């Protein structure tokens, strides 16, 4: 009689909980749920409900991974803007004793930063005043550092705590496509800005390889424009399928995710970028939200907060297409 051990040279492992990380084709027996399991590849990206944030908010900053994310600032309903910082461990959020020096919303985070090394720049002070403030987080506290050259809200951001990019903003009087570079100490204005002037864009990538997509234009339209940054200038690429503003963007210049936003109604739809074009993902957010944020990569990410239309504490964990996923083996 042919057996699994005879074919593979070893027996199926019996474990009390599903293993992590997974390898495609891996088989095991979960003795707590009395089920045989198989690790297979997902065919579409999906969202699953995560733990709620402690403070419902929108327009906050965030950085990190699906299992180690930091969020900061934002706009709770019915109260002053938040200066709170929260940390996610893959299951739940914990409020950090570290607070922003300037409570604000719609600032730009360096989205590829980490849970212990983040950067937050620009944004809106109450009631509606654009700021140029920049703060750096070192794992225990926020420190005021040199400000942006151009104050604004709805700033796009990319990079890390020591090497970041800021692009697009609303200054309070005009929309600006201006681009600034952060070297860990100060901001320098780049001679060229975004080809399509806009703010509240989606963003992903690093300071030398960033991606800007969507946003709102001076005409009040919802942009589909996509541009890539090579360290000195922007290049126009293929457009989003759905124009939108104020939405979660995360990933890299060649593999990004855009989820939610508004156009002008609140969206659940999600799009995937492969370095050349955008594809509509068959499934979207469980809770449609605008002014939400995200972090992680196209394989494993997280989307949090937003307005739906009230401030939301919702968190959703993203598993991208082609990622290992667990399937229960049945006889049917």
Query: 33 vs 93, which has greater pLDDT?
Result: 93
61-96 pLDDT, tens digit per residue, is 999 999 999 999 999 988 789 999 999 999 999 999
Q: How far apart are CA 124 and CA 98, in angstroms?
A: 20
Mean pLDDT, the chain, rounded, equals 93
pLDDT attached to residue 36 = 87
292-302 pLDDT, tens digit per residue, is 999 999 999 99
Whether 285 and 303 have beta carbons less than 8 Å apart is answered as yes
**Does position 5 have pLDDT exceeding 70, yes or no?**
no
Range of lowest pLDDT (102-106, 127-131, 252-256, 292-296): 127-131
Whether 146 and 186 have beta carbons less than 8 Å apart is answered as yes
Whether 301 and 320 have beta carbons less than 8 Å apart is answered as yes
Average pLDDT over residues 201-223: 97
Q: Which structural domains are found in the chain, ordered by start?
A: 4-41 (no CATH), 46-319 (2.120.10.80)
pLDDT attached to residue 1 = 55
Q: How far apart are CA 92 and CA 90, in angstroms?
A: 6
pTM of the full structure: 0.87
241-272 pLDDT, tens digit per residue, is 999 999 999 999 999 999 999 999 999 999 99
Q: Hunting for tokens 């600034």 — which residue is that?
A: 180
């Amino acid at each position: 009689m042919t057996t699994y051990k005879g074919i593979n040279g070893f027996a199926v492992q019996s474990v009390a909980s599903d293993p992590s990380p997974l390898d495609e084709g891996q088989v095991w027996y979960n003795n707590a749920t009395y089920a045989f399991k198989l690790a297979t590849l997902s065919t579409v990206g999906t969202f699953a409900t995560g733990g709620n944030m402690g403070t419902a908010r929108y327009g906050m900053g965030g950085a990190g991974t699906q299992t180690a994310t930091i969020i900061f600032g934002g706009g709770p309903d019915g109260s002053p803007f938040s200066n709170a910082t929260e940390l996610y461990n893959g299951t739940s959020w914990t409020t950090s004793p570290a607070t922003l020096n300037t409570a604000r919303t719609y600032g730009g985070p360096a989205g590829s930063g980490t849970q212990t090394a983040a950067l937050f720049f620009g944004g809106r002070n109450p009631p509606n005043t654009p700021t140029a403030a920049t703060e750096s987080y070192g794992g225990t506290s926020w420190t005021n550092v040199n400000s942006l050259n151009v104050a604004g809200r709805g700033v796009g951001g990319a990079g890390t705590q020591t090497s970041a990019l800021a692009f697009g903003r609303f200054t309070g009087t005009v929309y600006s496509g201006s681009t600034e570079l952060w070297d860990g100490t100060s901001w320098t204005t780049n001679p060229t800005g975004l080809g399509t002037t806009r703010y509240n864009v989606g963003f992903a990538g690093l300071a030398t390889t960033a991606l800007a997509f969507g946003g709102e234009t001076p005409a009040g339209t919802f942009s589909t424009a996509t541009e890539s940054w090579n360290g000195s200038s922007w290049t126009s690429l293929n457009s989003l399928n759905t124009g939108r503003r104020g939405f979660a963007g995360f990933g890299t210049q060649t593999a990004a995710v855009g989820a939610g936003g508004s156009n002008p109604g609140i969206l659940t739809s999600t799009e995937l970028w492969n370095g050349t074009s955008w594809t509509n993902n068959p499934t979207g957010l469980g809770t449609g939200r605008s002014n939400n944020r995200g972090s992680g990569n196209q394989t494993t990410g997280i989307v949090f907060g937003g307005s739906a239309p009230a401030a939301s504490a919702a968190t959703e964990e993203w598993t991208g297409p082609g990622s290992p996923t667990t399937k229960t083996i049945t006889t049917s």
